[in-house]
Structure 1
Amino acid sequence: MSAEEPLLRLARAAVFATVCLFLSTAGHAFAGGGGVDPAVLLAGLAGTMGLAYAINGREREPEVVLAASAVAQISLHEVFGWTTHSVPTALGTEHGHRTFGMTLAHLMVAMASGWWLYRGEQAAWLMLRLWATAPFPVLRWLFTTAGRTTPPAPPAVPVSFPQPRPAWTVPAAIHRRGPPAIIG
């Protein structure tokens, strides 16, 4: 399976777009931006999937995934800000769409989710590589060991096995005790 396969690219783009859209929507609602219209959500999903599909023709480095995540988060934040009405937050302030703190929050979420997406993509590629190579050695091992029988277990030691007698001595060991003889 290669990275250029459309089905694999589409699946990877769908995961990327879903994570970005969910985090941006949740952050928007949490910060007091209100609910997002379903048509805007679909447009955001389509745009984010288009971006992800365009860049995932091959396995990407973390910088590319982090940058794409940041672009998606900021773009979704701006689109949601233009299409929804601000509501007062618990602190009494309205959802600020162009504040430094909001931009910083989106960038932090983008970096965390981008890193998470990159590590997930690494794991997916590792599983695909292992799946492509691992079955053949395992199958070969199974076929070579299937015809063999296991050797019989050794017989049990009988209870009446003779115990060593204390009177048995080894004569050669007796005269060699002590320090070595001086040969000279």
Structure 2
Amino acid sequence: MRAQLPLRLARTAAFAAVCVTLAALAHVIGGGAAPAPRPALLGLAGVAALGLALGGRERSAGTITIVLVGAQLGLHELFAGAGSAYVSVHGHAQGGLAVNAGMLLTHLTATVITGLWVARGEAALWSLLRRLGRRLLLLTPVAALVPRAPGPIVHIRVVPLTPVFRHSVARRGPPLPA
């Protein structure tokens, strides 16, 4: 089952917003400065493009996690490259991702949180779409292929009761013992 563009855009927007927000929060908690609006928007656009490219069908939890680790590392570098003081303090100039344990731990925590959220959401969404698809497939052909046959015409004749029998009760059964 493949997702059409409106569904892909909605999923991509949710994924990108959560991914970039968690990366920015993890970056601040890990000891970095809050990212400027321009790098944050650039990161949002990059993650949205990645999500749109990969959002055409259901992905496994492992694939989601690998992509998220790459996205978190890319967002970390993008956010860290915004300030030269941050680069010199945290050692990015010497070896790229030479970060301290706190920053790495917070980004990996953001990756795990985002991965769990996205994997569970993906499983629920695709399960719902499969169920709806099956239901629509079962209902649509039956309604379209089977024409409704006209029902039989039944004429009912109402016989009014005569006034003598209206208040009488008939009880059939064995006679009462004497």
Task: Quote the offset at 1:95 in angstroms.
Answer: 6.0
Q: Identity over aligned residues, as a percent?
A: 37
Q: Report the counterpart of residue 67 of structure 2 in structure 1.
A: 68
SS at match of 2:35: coil
Task: Quote the offset at 1:86 in angstroms.
Answer: 5.5
Deviates more, 1:19-28 or 1:94-103: 94-103
Q: Structure 1 stretches of 5 or more lacking a match?
A: 88-93, 141-184
The reply on whether 1:80 has 2:76 as its aligned counterpart is: no
In the TM superposition, 1:73-112 aligns within 5 A as: 73-84=72-83, 98-101=98-101, 102-112=103-113
Q: Report the counterpart of residue 115 of structure 1 in structure 2.
A: 116
> Which AA in structure 1 matches 2:104?
T
Deviates more, 1:53-62 or 1:102-111: 102-111
Superposed structure 1 runs of 4+ greater than 3 Å apart: 84-87, 94-97, 133-137
Task: Quote the offset at 1:11 in angstroms.
Answer: 1.5
More helix by proportion, 1 or 2?
2
Calculate the TM-score normalised by the size of structure 2: 0.64
Q: Against the structure 1 CA distance between its residues 13 and 125, is the aligned structure 2 distance closer, same or farther, given a 3 Å change threshold?
A: same
Deviates more, 1:30-39 or 1:57-66: 30-39
The reply on whether 1:127 has 2:131 as its aligned counterpart is: no
> Which AA in structure 2 matches 1:76?
L
Q: Structure 2 stretches of 5 or more lacking a match?
A: 93-97, 144-178
- Distance in 2 (CA, whole Å) between partners of 1:10 and 1:84 is 32
Q: CA RMSD in A?
A: 2.5
- Distance in 1 (CA, whole Å) between partners of 2:85 and 2:56 is 38
Alignment coverage as a number of residue pairs = 131
